[in-house]
Structures are given as C-alpha cells and as structure tokens.
Amino acid sequence: MPYTGGGRRDVTRRTTGIVIEGQDLGVRDVLDRAQLAEKIGVDSVWLVQLPSIRDSAGVLSAMAMCTERVTLGAGILPFYTRPPVMMAQTAATIDEISGGRFVLGVGVGHKLTAEWTLGMSLAKPVDTMREYLTVVTSLLRDGEAHLDGTYYRAHAMYASARRPSLPAYLGVLGPRMCELAGEVADGLLLWMCPASYVRDVAVPALRRGLARAGRSLADFPVTVLVPGSVSDNRDSDRERLRRYLSTYSRVPNYRRMYEASGYGAALLGGEIGDDLLDNVGVIGTHADVVSAIATYHEAGATDVIITPMAEAHYDEGLWQRTAEAVVAGAPVDAGAPAPAGALDPGLASAPAFAEAVGSVDKS
C-alpha cells in the first residue's frame, strides 16, 4: 500500500543534525530533547542503539508522536538485532507513525556483541549485509521480497502503508562496506572518523560502488556522525573524549580506519594524541562546532550529525547550546528543498500520511 507523498531528499542541500544518546537518560528526557531540537530548528534527530540500553526503535516511534517536522534517524540498528523482514517492518511502521520522516540506518555492529551477547556469527559481513539489505530494500520499495540466498531466505509481503522512497542507509567503517553502500543502499553513514577519511577513503570507495550500480554521487547522501559539544570546561571535556576514543581505537575496525587516515604511528604507543583527537571530534566553543561541521561538509559529507559528548550529554543547557551550534552550522540556502527525508508541506504529518494512503487504490 504505497503512498506518493514526499520522495527522496535532494542532497544538494547540506544539512545538520544531532544525536540523542539514551544512556543515563530516561525516555521522557529523550523525548524532551527531541522536541527541544525541533523547536531550535535542527534538521534531524538521531538515536543510536547500544547493546545495554532500551530498544531505540520503540523510542523513535514515541519521538514520531511528539514531533512534527524534524527528520528521525536510526543510526544505527545492528542487523543482527532483527531478521531483515522484521527490520523492514520496523522501519515502515516508524515511518508511517511519523508521517514519512524516518531514515533507517543499518549496520554490521560489533563482533563481540553479536557473538558473545547474542550468540550469532558475523562471518563474511559484506556478503551477509548484501543479502540482508536486498531483502530490506525490496520490501520497502516494492512491498515484497523474495530471496533464497546463502545467508538469508525470505519470502514476504508488506501490506500496510509504506513509503517506497523510505531511505535505508548503510552504517560503515571500511572501504568494502562503503562500496557496498553505493551498490545497494540509499545512503552512507559514518561514525567518528576524521574528515580526511571521508574525503580520501570513504567517498572514493563509495564512488566505485555507485559506478558498478550505474548510480551517481550527486544524489547520494553521505551522513557523518561526529562526537562534539559546546563546552565550558574544554580541557576536562577533551580528556573525557580522549578516554572515549582510546576505547574505540583498540577495536580492530576502528583502528584500521585511523591507520588509513594516517594515524597508525601515533597509535603505536597506545596514546590518543591531540592531532587525532581534534580531527575525530570537536570540543570547544559555538564557533568551533560550526567550523568542524563546515570541515566535514567540505570533505564530502551531505549531512553532519553532532553527538553531544562529555558534560554536554548530561547538562541540558550545554546540550541546547550544542544544538544551537548545530543549527548555525547548516549552510544557508533560502531556496533549498526540505530537510532530509521530509515530505511536502501537505504531507508532513501523520494525519496527512493517512489521508494520502487512503487515496491510493487498494485493489
């Protein structure tokens, strides 16, 4: 039951967004921050899925009910948390509740979580993800999926309301996954990488995948999630980010990404130097956050999403000031189209969504 409102976003408009991390926050606090972000004028609000906290898809559904304009993104839902048919159902349901404002982000996740916590194997992640996304995107676009693959078997239909243009982004780290995004996904999601990695590794790999699929980078979203915040105690908050980054730098996939960005020698001593720290995140003034956003846009990102870190995660005032910097970082273009994933004005609400669906021939 497709509906015709909205469509794919125009990536000629560069946007900004903010992440709300649910760790240490109650659901009501998360929803309040989503409403605050929308009031301030942020383009998009994203939730991450951590292995030890509540299901972000349920919270995104609640966000859809208490916001009206802002794009809602899942960044990311690990693919091992749901079979592909269920992932597509989850995405279509959130999108319907929101009136067509949802962006699905799917990724491989972490090997330790998949195998130790859930007892699942992550063998051949690129090949596995190719099949997984084939099922998800087929069900979202066409309303049905049929695959007898090596890793997944799926024969399903989706009869409820759906938006065929609902985008499914692929969360990636390495170049092979960047290529896969260009072949089968609707967008690319990167996390905690230097702008140089976006420019020199991710985008060239994405171009190769897009070329194989006969697609163009001109209409393909490249979304980068960046840790950062406006800070009143820069030195202390930078050290907290340094410790955070130190943990990630010991994870093989992240370490390879930093080595590919030219920081291999710096990591040999086990320390996170200022150069890497300052090129992976931004802790500082309003102007510092705005400048960092511009750096990522210039490197090839169409959407830059700031994840408030350190004290800004806990302090609502600093979180708001960070959100205000995020809005200020969005390039001004008075003639630009609506934010990522947004519908035409007449279809940007749940009632309008229902009206649009009702106008479709159901026979």
- pLDDT over 80 at 289, yes or no: yes
Residue 328: predicted pLDDT = 97
- Of 61-70, 109-118, 136-145, the one with minimum mean pLDDT is 109-118
Residue 201 in any domain: the answer is yes
Percent of the chain with pLDDT over 70: 85
The model's pLDDT over 194-237, given as tens digits with 9 standing for 90+, comes to 999 999 999 999 999 999 999 999 999 999 999 999 999 999 99
Question: 85, 156 in Cβ contact below 8 A?
Answer: yes
Percent of the chain with pLDDT over 90: 74
Q: At what angle do helices 27-40 and 56-66 cross, to 10 degrees?
A: 50
- pLDDT over 80 at 359, yes or no: no
- Distance from CA of residue 124 to its chain's centroid? 23
Range 92-119 average pLDDT: 83
Structure-token pair, residue 321? 């000031």
What domain count does the chain have? 1
Q: How confident is the model at residue 46 (pLDDT cuts 50, 70, 90)?
A: very high
Structure-token pair, residue 330? 């969005």
- Among candidates 49, 57, 43, 61, which has minimal Cα distance to 23? 49
For the chain, first and last CA: distance in Å?
A: 10
Return the higher-pLDDT residue of 65 and 348.
65
Residue 49: predicted pLDDT = 87
Cis, peptide link before residue 76, omega less than 30° from 0: yes
Range 162-174 average pLDDT: 97
To the nearest 10°, the Cα dihedral for 280, 223, 44, 103? -140
Cis, peptide link before residue 94, omega less than 30° from 0: no
Range 188-192 average pLDDT: 97
The average confidence (pLDDT) of the chain is 87
Range 255-275 average pLDDT: 91
Spatial separation of the C-alpha atoms in residues 118 and 113, rounded to whole Å = 7
Residue 3 in any domain: the answer is no
Residue 158 in any domain: the answer is yes
Range 289-293 average pLDDT: 98
Range of the domain at 228: 15-331
Which residue has tokens 């309303």?
143
Instruction: Identify the bridge partners of residue 44 per DSSP, sorted by sequence position.
Output: 17, 71
Which helix (H) or strand (E) element contains residue 205?
helix 203-212
- What CATH number does the domain containing 92 carry? 3.20.20.30
The model's pLDDT over 90-104, given as tens digits with 9 standing for 90+, comes to 999 999 999 999 999
Residue 109 in any domain: the answer is yes
Residue 346 in any domain: the answer is no
Residue 349: predicted pLDDT = 37
Residue 35: predicted pLDDT = 98
**Phi and psi, residue 71, nearest 5°:** -70, 140
Residue 111: predicted pLDDT = 64
Q: How confident is the model at residue 335 (pLDDT cuts 50, 70, 90)?
A: very low
- Distance from CA of residue 255 to its chain's centroid? 21
Residue 90 in any domain: the answer is yes
Which residue has tokens 């630009």?
336
Q: How confident is the model at residue 12 (pLDDT cuts 50, 70, 90)?
A: low
Question: 79, 49 in Cβ contact below 8 A?
Answer: no
Spatial separation of the C-alpha atoms in residues 13 and 116, rounded to whole Å = 41
Residue 362 in any domain: the answer is no
Range 241-265 average pLDDT: 92
- pLDDT over 70 at 320, yes or no: yes
Residue 355 in any domain: the answer is no
